[in-house]
Structure 1
């Protein structure tokens, strides 16, 4: 009997690993397929991973894959967000200048505030306003997943997350095409159009695509500006986490969220190491690529967890909200650029 107990205990971690591996491998296959489609047909990889995941929703209901899909959507996501910090350094951000930094910080904060107010006006919950506002303001799908990880869960959490990722990715793709044309209409120079693209488009990949479609200089400026918005992910998520922790403490909940989520600490840790020069340039490239793949794999898992029918139940008010937030940040940055260059 003692021998059988020992055998059961020793095999349990392996069984758990095997159970999680199935869901993870399915998510990985979806991510590879999405990347293939992106490279050969020009479609955004995040969007493809999300749509393919939704198409395979039935797998998340299978006992053999459920645990692995849950693990991938939660833990692999947080790992990817933590690695994003390796792309950030103080030297990189200092080159923006105080005026531009002030404009970007104000744009992020005001867009989140606008999202909360507009959500209330449209009859949506504050969670949804915070989720969509943060995604639009900071870095699209990555921000949506990071913010969702620290928000209190309810029956609409998965539905709201998948809708937000889907909508901001599609709007980013549209902006990648339309915003460079808008820049030509206003006769922006390469630096100004780079600031506009980096300060308004939601996802990093689409910012890079839009910027370098204009010129090399516009692409570099747009990427730098966008990385500053990405750098705001950690402090914003940290503030949200602390607010949620305070609210749960005031309500008497026993299971309060941690004051500093581990993935936020990881983001800050990698950013600090990179700022101090402890991460060599080749390693930054490797970590950035690992972050991109982790987020791509996790979004495939998030897609598998949500049915298409539930997404369609979100309603027209949700679409109106995300579009309004997108127009708000574009208008604010455009106004700021006009004032600074007048």
Structure 2
């Protein structure tokens, strides 16, 4: 929920209509292609939904948001988080390298990083290695991707409800998890411009600590043997991202 305090609607509006269109198409294509490839490789629906969401939106936080909707277990969540961390870390080195080889302008390289890299911290590292201009563009593009988390989760929830019959005594997945609603409320509060900068700084640190604690807690519940039993298919479905070079 606190991640929403790092995002203001005005930041998203700094992007032009063309750049926003590329962003939406990139997110939609990444999600759809990853789900399709995962299905072809025999990856279960919960895991492929988690991987697709983590890769297309914002890494571990997006995985956590999709988990209750996808009815995923702890091992699925751990595998998805491992995938977005592994491949996202690789892009920290790959994006600046490719930007130099392709001769991309700094703003274009920043947009590429913002559209292609998973976690916010990974985006900052990748774009910061290019220039300050690239970093500024990358952060805005990344935050714009985060905004799409709520509609994506809600859309998948509706699809899951329609495709599966209700089981007596079993609760159906929520249309939108409450903490995602809280995230949207936090975005609205940040967008008012009324929150003091000192408060935003403290909540940013708290957000990082809480997310790290959640990941440690998740890892403590996962048995390595069970994780390895998921096979190699999910690890092959990870890097299914259309190139955002058109940005």
Same fold (TM over 0.5): yes
2:238 maps to: 322
Q: How does 1:1-342 map to 2 (within 5 A)?
A: 82-153=1-72, 157-247=73-163, 250-254=165-169, 255-323=171-239, 325=240, 328-329=241-242, 331=243, 333-334=244-245, 336-337=246-247
- Asked if 2 retains the 8 angstrom alpha-carbon contact of 1:238 and 1:264, the reply is no
Other structure's SS at 2:15 match: coil
Q: Distance in 2 between matches of 1:150 and 1:221?
A: 32
Q: Distance in 2 between matches of 1:185 and 1:92?
A: 29
**CA RMSD, Structure 1 to Structure 2 (Å):** 1.7
Q: Distance in 2 between matches of 1:129 and 1:146?
A: 14
Residues 118-140 of structure 1, C-alpha deviations (whole Å, 9 max, x = no match): 11111122222211111111111
Q: Distance in 2 between matches of 1:280 and 1:235?
A: 29
Residues 73-112 of structure 1, C-alpha deviations (whole Å, 9 max, x = no match): xxxxxxxxx1111112111100011111111111111111
Alpha-carbon shift at residue 244 of structure 1 (Å): 3.6
- Asked if 1 retains the 8 angstrom alpha-carbon contact of 2:154 and 2:176, the reply is yes
Alpha-carbon shift at residue 253 of structure 1 (Å): 4.2
CA distance change for structure 1 residues 296 and 149 in 2, over 3 Å: closer, same or farther?
A: farther
5+ residue gaps, structure 2, are none
Give the total of aligned pairs: 246
TM-score, normalised relative to structure 2: 0.93
Alpha-carbon shift at residue 225 of structure 1 (Å): 0.9
5+ residue gaps, structure 1, are 1-81, 338-342
Greater helix share, structure number = 1
Residues 190-217 of structure 1, C-alpha deviations (whole Å, 9 max, x = no match): 1011011111011111110111111111
